[in-house]
Amino acid sequence: MGMTMTQKILAAAAGLDHVEAGQLIEAKLSLVLGNDITSPVAIKEMAKMKTEGVFDKDKIALVPDHFVPNKDIKSAEHCKCVREFAKEHDITNYFEVGQMGIEHALLPEKGLTVAGDVIIGADSHTCTYGALGAFSTGVGSTDMAAGMATGKAWFKVPSAIRFNLTGKPAKHISGKDVILHIIGMIGVDGALYKSMEFTGDGIANLSMDDRFTIANMAIEAGGKNGIFPVDDKTIEYMKEHSDRAYTVYEADADAVYDAEYTIDLSTLESTVSFPHLPENTHTISEIEAMDEIRIDQVVIGSCTNGRIQDLRQAAEILKGKKVAEGMRLIVIPATQAIYLQAMEEGLLKTFIEAGGVVSTPTCGPCLGGYMGILAEGERCVSTTNRNFVGRMGHVTSEIYLASPTLAAASAIAGKIARP
């Protein structure tokens, strides 16, 4: 019986010739990640282990990003805890304000994640790095602590679902539309503890930013991880950003999948996830047949859609236009490098002239942190990844998940609108 791409990576990390779905293994870790919310818990747990230090100061990444720059005393204390731990253990990849960004955009940009890696992070969207052909998954803070101390983690080898992508997306159709379509199709538990493995000639028509977006939201379908094959675009990205050696794994021809789906990218429309689950999706054609959905706020950013392609696409829609009266448009570049590039390209000028505001990199409003909290009954179109009850503020507020182009078009129209 052959192995999937994920199973091959895990077998190699466990020092085994072969693994099967459901098998328990102990694997060596390439990287352990934590942020300002999850790391303090892990640091306290690690202290209880009475270890002499971290397993490898170069293979731990600490990225304060959720409430950074600090929004209150509590968040300041959390960041202080992480800062002092990083200094005590001489952590190489600690990113202070000024160097930081949203963790899942920052790590690939800094070259810390490459094909063949096994990565755990105390954040559910750690699955993002599957875009590079790595196995990456979110864990709890206790597992992060064990990972920092030992450089190892236990896994149950996941079974897999294969998504065969064909065709070329139409203009204004991005990776966000692809993954929302998939989640709408299989549901938020459709890939529960499974590897979502993407294949097909359509992948060549997806940029790396598209792939990061798709892999990022594998968790929204319940997936253990999402993963893409390594092609010329992947290799070009890794060579541009990293000097680390990488390993390319390919699924066996006789690999076993629990299910297989074929998706023609050329048939996809702009897709929106309605409250209060990512699976509650509607195409723009369906939405246009409904009563108009007026909105109060638009957020463009996050670990899902705060990369340079996302900002360019939004700016293309907003160029020379104004947001609707009373509209709050909040744009958050995902890293300092993306912020600087957007500034140099004039994108920030476009956002500000359109009536928007631009924030320093932060997760901010995505998790109801700050920089865009919703009041009672307010509605927001957001390029973030979750729209649960109360996710962005008041429990009666509503979040509509969408691509950067649809979000920008909606900011102009004051309602959910076609880009």
The per-residue pLDDT for range 229-288, each reduced to its tens digit, is 999 999 999 999 999 999 999 999 999 999 999 999 999 999 999 999 999 999 999 999
Residue ranges of domains in the chain, CATH in brackets: 5-263 (3.30.499.10), 269-413 (3.30.499.10)
pLDDT of 161 reads: 97
The whole-angstrom separation of Cα 356 and Cα 60 is 36
Burial class (CB in 10 A: 0-12, 13-18, 19+), 74: exposed
Mean predicted confidence (pLDDT) in 106-121: 97
Mean predicted confidence (pLDDT) in 113-121: 97
Who's near 15: CB < 8 A, 6+ residues apart?
28
Mean predicted confidence (pLDDT) in 46-71: 92
Please count the other Cβ atoms lying within 10 Å of the Cβ belonging to residue 317.
Answer: 21
pLDDT interval class at 52 (50, 70, 90) = confident
pLDDT of 1 reads: 82
**Can you read off the two tokens belonging to residue 353?**
């002239």
- Of all residues in the chain, the percent with pLDDT exceeding 90 is 97
pLDDT of 56 reads: 96
pLDDT interval class at 359 (50, 70, 90) = very high
Mean predicted confidence (pLDDT) in 215-229: 97
pLDDT of 220 reads: 96
Mean predicted confidence (pLDDT) in 1-14: 96
In 3-state terms, what secondary structure has residue 270? Answer: coil
Pair 383, 402: CB distance under 8 Å: yes
User: What integer best gives the mean pLDDT of the chain?
Assistant: 96
In 3-state terms, what secondary structure has residue 285? Answer: helix
Q: Taking 90 as the threshold, does the pLDDT of residue 218 lie above it?
A: yes
What is the tens place of the pLDDT at every residue in 134-145? 999 999 999 999
Q: Where are the extended beta strands (E) located within 17-140? A: 24-28, 31-35, 60-63, 93-94, 118-121, 135-138
Note the pTM of the prediction, 2 decimals: 0.95
pLDDT of 350 reads: 98
What is the tens place of the pLDDT at every residue in 332-346? 999 999 999 999 999
Give the Å distances, CA to CA, from 380 to 302, 365, 393, 396, 397.
14, 11, 10, 12, 8
Q: Among 316, 321, 293, 278, which Cα is nearest to 405's?
A: 316
pLDDT of 31 reads: 98
